[in-house]
Structures are given as C-alpha cells and as structure tokens.
Structure 1
Amino acid sequence: MDSEPDIARRFGGVSRLYGAAGLTKLQAAHICVIGIGGVGSWAAEAVARNAVGRVTLIDLDNIAESNVNRQLHAVDGAFGKAKVTAMAERIRLINPNVNVIGIEDFVTAENVSELLDKQFNGVIDCVDDAKAKAAIAAFCQSNKIPLVMTGAAGGR
C-alpha cells in the first residue's frame, strides 16, 4: 500500500460528477457542520467524501454508547471522546489533505457571531435547539452564507 494516498483516484468520482472545475471549487471550500450527532455525523462525512478542503465541526458533546444506532463516529474506542475530535479523525482518514477545525462548544444566540466565520462557503445546521437554529439562520442570512437546516428532535 502506498504511503501517500492517490487523491485523484480517491475523488475521481466527484470529479466525474461535478467536473474538474467543480472538484477544484470543493477542494477550496470551507464548510461548517454544527451539531455532530445523529444527523451531523452523516453530514460531516458526506462533506468529507465530496473532497471539501476545509471543514469546521462544532459540538460540545461526547460520544456515548447509546449513540451507536445513529452516529457514524460512535464505535468501540470512541466512547467518551469529544464528538468533534472523533469526527475529525474519521474525516482525515477519508481525506488526508483536508483541514479540519474542531470547536468544542454549543452554538447559542449569544455566541453565534463568535463561533461562526463570515467566510464560510456554507453551513449545515444539525442542532436540535430551536433558539440556536434561529440564531444560526439569522447569522447566515445577514452574512449571505448558504445554509442547509436539518430538523431533529434529539429524542424529545
């Protein structure tokens, strides 16, 4: 096995789907995934598998054994680990060239402007708190950042 991954081979399917220019844009993009749980872990992995070059993960929670049924990073050896740390490790296994930033915090109406970067190319909101969702949406709208908002009830 080669020590250096063949990035062109690894992401050739992305290039065939979006074209070489599309792949280049994805590799230059910075996407933020907020909430790395049952929806966010899958969203973050999809972002990684599409060759996005820079990924910011935001979540304060740790992985619990009860997360196994719905969260990609919930596997033996990861229980108790910060969700952003475990997901960052997994993303780097998919794309060793990715720049992953992990922020261990919960986004709130009070800290949204401190945690979110106005230069994000896109934000994926996977939180289950209505006030946080509203703050994220307002921030993204006022800064003209594309937003994908998911719905979740967090077991409630």
Structure 2
Amino acid sequence: MKAPSSLTFVQAAAVFSLGVATAAVGQYLLTQQPSKPQRQAQALPIAAPSSSPVEVDALSAEQFSRICSFFGEEGFDKIQHAFVIVIGLGGVGSHAAHMLARSGVRHLRLIDFDNVTLSSLNRHAVATRADVGLSKAQVLKQRLLEIVPQANIEALPVMFEEAVADQLLAGPLVSLYDSCLNDVERCYFEYV
C-alpha cells in the first residue's frame, strides 16, 4: 500500500482549519445581537390523526417535495410504497431507518432487542438521555412518527436469530437488510 503523500496531509489540515474557522465565525455570529429584528419562525401545522386526508396529503407533498422532484413522480411512488426491514438499530441501523423515513419510505419494520444506553447515545440517530433504558425499536418508532406521522412503522424489540428469521422477514419483498450496510460483500453474495 502506498504511503499517503505530504500533500494529502496538507489538504486534510486545510479542510480541518476551514471547518474550525467556519465554526468560530458561526459562534461569533450567534453571540452577536442582531442589528435588525429577525423574522420569527412560525410553527407548521402538524398532521394529527384527526386531520383530514386532504390536509395530510398537502403537508406530505410539501415535506417530500424535494425528494419527489429529484426522483420524479414514478420514482417517489416506488419509494413511498417500499417495505423496508432494518435489523439492528445502533449506529448504522438507526441512521439508515431515520433517513429512509425522512426520504418517504412509508412502511418500516424496525428490529432490535436492545435498549438505549448512555454509551450508545453518541451513535444513535434520535435517542436522547431521556430514552436511556427504553427499547431502541420503540424509541426510534416514536421519533420517526413525529417526523412522518403517516408512516406505518413496526417496532419489534426482539433478537433476530435463525429460529424467528422467517417470521421477522415475512411480508412484501424486503428492500434492505441493515447487515448489508455493515458487510456489503457478504450480503451481496448471500442475498443477490
């Protein structure tokens, strides 16, 4: 393996310095009093279970408008109707499920036997200290439904093992295995 050149280290140092400078300027700007009144952010209406289907559709269309414009109507329709199972909701799986929901996937099955711990907070996508001791699957489901209330999210706080694999994987064609993200080569040869 070729040793990295000194130019690579210089480039990395430059990027790091730029990041530090940006953070310093941002901190400075945040601590300054605004010279003119800032426009107050207004809360958006939240689609409650009692909202009409028209209201929910309008909110959903706006929420996913950028994704729909990127993939087109047909592509976004496929995303919305995908059924995705995420096994393991730690540092990789929680972020994968989080972004799948934010991207418009409306049917997720979340599988993880474990609870949120203090030591997992630095990796978990949405858990907070208030969630310590609670099921990772239930915590993630609750947060995702706050973001995408119209989603169908199943939270299964169980150990994924061979004896229950068929039951846990039952349903429409599976779009993602979290283990594929962690071990792409093995997953490719095993599932493809």
Normalised-by-shorter TM-score class: 0.7 to 0.9
Cα deviation for residue 67 of structure 1 reads 0.8
**Structure of larger gyration radius:** 2
Instruction: Name 2:88's counterpart in structure 1.
Output: 35
Match of 2:131 among 75, 78, 91: 78
Cα deviation for residue 98 of structure 1 reads 0.2
Q: What percent identity do the matched residue pairs reach?
A: 28
Q: State the one-letter code of the partner of 2:72.
A: G
The change in CA–CA distance for 1:3 and 1:46 in structure 2 (over 3 A counts) is: closer
Match of 1:110 among 138, 156, 163: 163
Q: Give the conservation status (yes or no) of the 8 Å contact 1:32–1:56.
A: yes
- Partner of 1:15, secondary structure, is helix
Q: Give the conservation status (yes or no) of the 8 Å contact 2:92–2:178.
A: no
Superposed CA RMSD in Å reads 2.4
Instruction: Name 1:15's counterpart in structure 2.
Output: 68
Aligned length, in residue pairs:
135
Considering fraction of residues, name the structure with more strand: 1
The two structures have a TM-score, normalised by structure 2, of 0.63
Q: Give the conservation status (yes or no) of the 8 Å contact 2:94–2:140.
A: yes
Considering fraction of residues, name the structure with more helix: 2
Specify every segment of 5 or more residues in structure 2 that has no aligned partner in the other structure, as ranges.
1-43, 48-55
Cα deviation for residue 118 of structure 1 reads 4.6
Q: Give the conservation status (yes or no) of the 8 Å contact 1:32–1:120.
A: no
Specify every segment of 5 or more residues in structure 1 that has no aligned partner in the other structure, as ranges.
145-156
Cα deviation for residue 18 of structure 1 reads 0.5
Match of 1:51 among 104, 107, 111: 104
Partners of 1:83 and 1:126 in 2: how far apart?
17
The two structures have a TM-score, normalised by structure 1, of 0.77
Q: State the one-letter code of the partner of 1:42.
A: H
4+ residue runs of structure 1 moved beyond 3 angstroms?
Answer: none
Instruction: Name 2:152's counterpart in structure 1.
Output: 99
